[in-house]
Amino acid sequence: MARTGYSFNPVRLFADGYDWMGRSGRLSFLSILALWATAAGLALWGGHNSRAAEISGWFLVAVLTVPYFGHVLRRLNDLGQTGWLWLLSLVPYLNIAFVLALLLLPGGRRNRHEPTGFRVLGFAASFVVAVLIASRALWAPYTIPAGSMKPTLLVGDYVIVSLLRRPPERGAVYVFAHPVNGQDYVARLIGLPGDRVQMVDGVVVLNGTPLNQTDAGLFTEVMEPQGPARVLPRCYNGAVGPGAICEKRLWIETLPDGRQHGVLNIGQTHVDNSGEYTVPAGHVFFLGDNRDNATDSRIAPSAGGYGFVPETLIRGRAARVLVSTAGQGYLEFWNWRPDRFLKGIR
């Protein structure tokens, strides 16, 4: 029987995505792909303008995930191919070529159905993926590209950021947007609205009281390019050659509530001493833990820092290092740092 012309019906398109024994033509697959991609775009880029748009985007992506995978399998049915090829949808880079093939290859061949067990497994896997996608409304990934937060965060850490909205908390590590250029930065919140912050010989003076710093020895790392940007570390022990050990002084800093974190000292710099900053209402004051290698709230935006940061620009709280690599990319498993996997951030 000849096929009739395609007519876009969103309800029928959605329902067909749950019938994994049927067949989908190229236009049907293009329609569900366009809907899924639009929702993904809203989720990924809508958050820069509206948190509600971001949440809505991830919800729509989750709702469309099972029907999308259903139409992938239906296209394979239409092409007479094994349903196991569905797994190519989950493989980075290969999934692009796979989708193009589903869009371009003509169908019309005899249906090929896999055993019922496979389809149950496929349904279960797609629902798991949908749930994981829905959870993305609550968290976001962030890659550490530079060393301003050493020793807490290293170049190559892949960090999970909680997007749950809570009042800013002193001592927590946050990802936030730069007040001028909008780029994402990560740093530790030191000053809340109304706080007075000053630097004296590299020590933070908070509301007139110096934060206690205890000598914890040395932080060491190899002098070599780090991360995709191939940045070189700065050293307390002067200029060292490639492959040599780069040292920094390590101190444990204690906040007024007793919480502690590590900070690094490389040497005397122009930001080790400052006047007193009073944090305005609705703003916060951030510092990098690698104090002599961070352009943070101590430095005005016009001089390369970001000054006081409006609370509304906080993206979320850095909660945990998911994975970490000392190489140029996360596929270089031989450069992974397993001791940092799933490490909590404090």
For 67-71, 75-79, 124-128, 159-163, which range has the lowest pLDDT when averaged over its residues? 124-128
Average pLDDT, stretch 336-345? Answer: 94
Q: Is 90 exceeded by the pLDDT of residue 2?
A: no
In tens, the pLDDT along 171-223 reads 999 999 999 998 999 999 999 999 999 999 999 999 999 999 999 999 999 99
For 45-49, 115-119, 268-272, which range has the lowest pLDDT when averaged over its residues? 115-119
The domain spans of the chain are 10-137, 140-344
Identify the three-state secondary structure at position 22. Answer: coil
- CA dist 309 and 297 (Å) reads 8
Cis-peptide, bond into residue 151, ω within 30° of zero = yes
Q: Specify the pLDDT at position 1.
A: 41
For 147-161, 280-294, 315-329, which range has the lowest pLDDT when averaged over its residues? 315-329
For 24-28, 116-120, 163-167, 275-279, which range has the lowest pLDDT when averaged over its residues? 116-120
193 vs 60, residue with greater confidence: 193
152 vs 44, residue with greater confidence: 152
- CA dist 133 and 120 (Å) reads 20
Contact by Cβ (8 Å): 280, 271: no
23 vs 290, residue with greater confidence: 290
Contact by Cβ (8 Å): 233, 155: no
- CA dist 221 and 237 (Å) reads 12
The reply to whether CATH 3.60.110.10 applies to domain 140-344 is no
Kindly report the CA angle at 83 between 82 and 84, in degrees rounded to 5?
Answer: 90
Name 320's bridge partners. Answer: 160, 344
42 vs 123, residue with greater confidence: 42
Q: Is 80 exceeded by the pLDDT of residue 7?
A: no
Average pLDDT, stretch 95-109? Answer: 88
Q: For the chain, what is the mean pLDDT?
A: 89
Find which of 57-61, 123-127, 194-198 is predicted with most confidence, using mean pLDDT: 194-198
pLDDT-based confidence at 3, cuts 50/70/90? very low
Name 265's bridge partners. Answer: 249
